[in-house]
Amino acid sequence: MHEWQLMAQVVKMVEEALRQAPSARPSVVRLMVSTQSHFFEHDAAALQSVFAAAAEGTVAERAMLEILPVPVTGHCRLCGTACEMKALLQCCPGCGSANLDAEPVPEVVLHEVVVEE
């Protein structure tokens, strides 16, 4: 149910963003999502369905959801190597250590609302 709560919050943010343009209708809602997010465990169709259900009866009702992955960089505490974190737990490509610190990145950000004209 975490997805439902998040999508309901996204719909509220879209409504707030369009409050100054009451006749505007969003066609696309773009989210930037950390590649470390559990959202990538779900397929895009499932997330679109949850978004559509949360948007029902709102200004965002017919909008499509797009998810833009945001890579997370990790830094090795032992050798200082920086690398893209492709998994929640991974080893440093430089020294093999499992002591990687991921840069803090917001899990989900409303990036853009594309409006029909």
**Position 10: which residue type?**
V
Mean pLDDT of 48-55: 96
Cα–Cα distance measured from residue 48 to residue 4, given in angstroms and rounded to the nearest whole number = 11
The reported pTM is 0.83
pLDDT of residue 38: 83
Q: Is 111 helix (H, G, I), strand (E, B) or coil?
A: strand
pLDDT at 80: 96
Rounded Cα distance between 88 and 74, Å, is 10
CATH number of 2-18+25-72+104-116: 3.30.2320.50
| Domain limits, the chain | 2-18+25-72+104-116
**Per-residue pLDDT, 34:** 92
**pLDDT at residue number 1:** 53
- d(Cα 66, Cα 63) in Å, to the nearest integer? 10
